[in-house]
Amino acid sequence: MRKKGFLVGLVSLLAIGGILAGCGNSSASNKGASKTYKYGTVTIPAKDGSICNAPNYIAYEKGFFKKNGIKAKLVANPRDISDLEAGFASGKYDAQNGDFQYLPAIQNGAQIKAVGGIHQAASSC
């Protein structure tokens, strides 16, 4: 079961990377583009030691971002959701896996796109 959860998380993270690479506007998706990193740099606020950010660490350490033409820059994750939202609004951060914490910001007009989840609900069976 743990292996299945890990694989679901990993696939979700790769999907986020693919969407960021393919659907961004030209200035954002090519930020720092080079021959090594086709899609440039993506800044991810993930350095907080939480298990929820494990897919970011794993993808970074295993070279999945680089393999897909993305230079991932993992930075400190702000503790306050309003600081995180401001970071996305200003372009300081490009991506992050998360949960329902972003829904109020999206409802209030923040330009945050939800692309998929990494958590799986427990079955009652």
Number of domains in the chain: 1
Q: Is residue 84 part of a domain?
A: no
Residue 110, domain member (yes or no):
no
pLDDT score of 40 more than 70: yes
* Long-range CB contacts for residues 80-88, cutoff 8 Å, separation at least 24: 81/105, 84/45, 85/110, 85/112, 87/45, 88/112
Query: What range defines the domain where residue 62 resides?
Result: 2-78
pTM to 2 decimal places: 0.61
Residue 75 has pLDDT above 90, yes or no: yes
Residue 57 lies inside a defined structural domain of this protein: yes
- Whether the pLDDT of residue 62 is over 80: the answer is yes
State how far the alpha carbon of 125 is from the alpha carbons of 7, 17, 121, in Å: 22, 33, 12
Whether residue 92 is contained in a domain is answered as no
Query: Which of the residue ranges 1-5, 48-52, 55-59, 106-110 has the most confident prediction, judged by mean pLDDT?
Result: 55-59
Flag whether 85 is in a domain: no
User: 18-22, 58-62, 65-69: which range is least confident on average?
Assistant: 18-22
